[in-house]
Chains A and B, each alone.
Chain A
C-alpha cells in the first residue's frame, strides 16, 4: 500500500466548494502532527513529576516525525520538522541542537525511503526506526560527554532509546486512526 494514494477521491471531478472555513479546516488537519509535537513538548515541560518526562518529549517527537514523514509527507514538511525541533529544544534543557538534528536526520531517512518503508510492513519499519532512535540517543550522550569533558553513564541515553522504541506502536495506532480521521485534510 502506498500511503500517498490512500485517498481515492483525491482527483475526483466533484470537489467541495473551496471556502475560507474549509481551507482553515484543511490546514489545521494538515498541521495536526506538528501541533501534536509542540503541544506534547510544552505539556511535558510542566512539573508533573512523572518519571522520564524529558525522555518522552524526545520520544514523541521522533515517533511523530518518523510516521508522518513516510506516511503522509504533506502533513510533515521539512520546515515544520525544523520548527517542531526548535520548540522541543526551547522547552527542554538537554544539549542544544541534538533533538533538532536528530529529528531532521530521521525525517530525511523516512522521507527518502517512504516508498520502500510503506512496502516493508510495520515490524521492519519499527526495527529501522529503533536503530535510528538508538543512534540519536547515542549522539546526544556523546555530545553531553564532550560538553562535560567526562565519560558519563550511558544509562539515561539507553532508557531514552528504549522509551522511544517502546511508545512507537501505541503512537502508530493513534496516528493510523488520525490519518483516516482528524488529521486527514481530504475530509475537511
Chain B
C-alpha cells in the first residue's frame, strides 16, 4: 500500500499527466491522422450492428408516417402519379430511341467500349461529419474489394470518394467537405473547373476559365482523372452571389440511405512519349576522355588536371 504522502503526490500529479497525454493525442492527430481515424473506423465496424438496431425504430416510424401521409390524399396522389407516369412513358420512348441511335453511331465509329465498373452497395451506418467535416460511414459487408479513391454515388449523382477502408466499413468524404477537390467539366460552356467543398450544402466552383464563365443552370459532370471517370452527373451551376458560382448537387447529401461505391480501376492510360521528352543519352562527363571524333588528330594521353575533373 502507498503511504498517505505518496497518495497525495499521485493525486496532484495525475491531472497534469493526463493533460500531457491529451496534448500528445492532439499532436498525434496533427502528425498521424490516419492512425487515429483507423482506430475510430474499427470502433464503428464493431458498433455497426448496434447502430442498425438503434436506427430501426426511427426507420419504421418514417415508413409509417409516409404511409399515413399517402393514405390521407390517395386521390390527389393517384392523379399526380398518373401524370408523372405519362411523362415518364414519353421519356422512356425518347431514351430507347436515343440508346438505339447511340448504339448505331458508336458502331459506325468503331467505339471502344469502356469496362463495366465493379460496385458494391452499402447502407449509411453513421453520419461522420462533426462540426468541420462532411463524411459518412458505409456498411459494405465483409470481403469487399473497395479501395481508397473509389467513387460513391447515390441514385441521382456523385456523393464523394472513399478515404478510409475498414474490414466491414468504408468512410466516404462527401463532395461538400472542406478537403474535397473534384475536377469537373461544365456541360454547355465546355470549360473545366475544380469543385471545392466548403462545408456548406453547395460546393464552390474554382479555377474555371476566365473567358468562359459557368452559365447559370448548366450541368456539371466529372472530368476523367485517375480513378474518377468522366461524365458522372454532379449537379447544376447556380450563382449564389455575383461571381460566386456554386454547384447544386444532384445527390441528396443530407438524407443518405443506400449508397453505391464504384471501382473504376486505375487510369493506366499513359500518354506516348512526345519527341521532346525522349530520354537523351548522357554524354560522358569529360568530353576529352576517350577517342576524339576527328580521326586525323592523335590520341591525347589522359593527364590529371584537365578540365572537368
Query: Which secondary structure characterizes the binding site on chain B?
Result: helix
Interface status of B300 (Cβ within 8 A of chain A): no
| A93 close to B37 (CB less than 8 A) | yes
Give, as a whole number of angstroms, the nearest-CB distance from A122 to chain B: 26
Interface size class of B (residues with CB under 8 A): 35 or more
Encoded as 1 (CB less than 8 Å from any B CB) or 0, chain A from 141 to 161 comes to 101101110101100110110
A residues 49-65 in Cβ contact with B at 8 Å: 49, 53-55
Tell which of B25, B28, B136 has the most Cβ of chain A within 10 Å: B25
Q: How long is the Cα–Cα vector from A90 to B46 in the complex, in angstroms?
A: 12
Is the CB–CB distance between A152 and B18 below 8 Å? no
Residue A46 lies at the interface, judged by CB distance under 8 Å to chain B: yes
CA distance A95 to B14 in the complex (A): 24
Do A97 and B29 have beta carbons less than 8 Å apart?
yes
**Residue B100 at the A interface, CB < 8 A?**
no
Flag if A152 contacts B178 (CB, 8 Å): yes
The answer to whether the Cβ of A100 comes within 8 Å of any Cβ in the partner chain is yes
- Indicate if B133 sits at the interface (CB-CB under 8 A): yes
A90 proximity list for chain B (CB < 8 A):
39-40, 43
Chain B hits for A140, CB < 8 A:
131-132
Which residues in window 153-199 of B have CB below 8 A to A?
178-179, 198-199
Interface locus among A7-15, A103-111, A170-178: A103-111
The answer to whether A43 touches B54 (Cβ under 8 A) is yes
Total contacts A-B at CB 8 Å: 122
B255 within 8 A of A: yes
Within 8 A of A (CB), among B102-157: 124-133, 135-136
User: With an 8 A cutoff between CB atoms, is B58 at the interface?
Assistant: yes
Set B22, B39, B40, B126: member contacting A101, Cβ < 8 A? B22
* Interface majority SS (helix, strand, loop, mixed), chain A: helix
Instruction: Identify the interface centre among A94, A96, A101, A152: most chain B CB within 10 Å of its CB.
Output: A96
For A147, the chain B residues whose CB sits under 8 A away are 29-30, 33
Cβ of A47 under 8 Å from chain B: yes
Q: Which residues of A are found within 8 Å of B51, using beta-carbon distances?
A: 45-47
Selected from A93, A146, A150, the residue in CB contact (under 8 A) with B135 is A93
In the complex where A96-B36, A97-B23 touch, is A91 in contact with B29 (Cβ < 8 A)? no
CA distance A153 to B199 in the complex (A): 9
Contact status of A100 and B25, CB under 8 A, knowing A53-B127, A93-B37: yes
How close is A157's CB to chain B, nearest CB, in angstroms?
Answer: 6
CB closest chain-A residue, reference B35:
A96
Give the Cβ gap from A142 to chain B, nearest Cβ, in Å: 11
> Is A188's CB within 8 Å of the partner chain B?
no
Contacts of B179 in A (CB 8 A): 148
Considering the complex, which residues of chain A in the window 66-116 have a beta carbon less than 8 Å from any beta carbon of chain B? 78-79, 81-82, 85, 89-98, 100-101, 104-105, 107-108, 111
B33 in contact with A96 (CB, 8 Å): yes
Q: Which of B130, B178, B254 contacts A150 (CB 8 A)?
A: B178
B47 at interface by CB-CB < 8 Å: yes
A159–B199 Cα gap in the complex (Å)? 14
CA distance A91 to B125 in the complex (A): 13
Q: Is A42 an interface residue (CB 8 A)?
A: yes
Return the 3 tightest CB-CB contacts between A and B, nearest first. A96-B29, A97-B26, A97-B25
Given contacts A101-B19, A152-B132, 19 further A-B contacts (CB under 8 A): A46-B50, A47-B55, A48-B54, A48-B58, A54-B129, A78-B14, A90-B39, A91-B40, A92-B130, A93-B40, A93-B129, A96-B36, A97-B24, A101-B23, A104-B18, A104-B19, A104-B22, A140-B132, A157-B132
Q: List 11 A-B contacts (CB under 8 A).
A: A42-B50, A43-B54, A47-B126, A85-B22, A96-B29, A100-B25, A101-B23, A108-B15, A152-B178, A153-B198, A157-B132
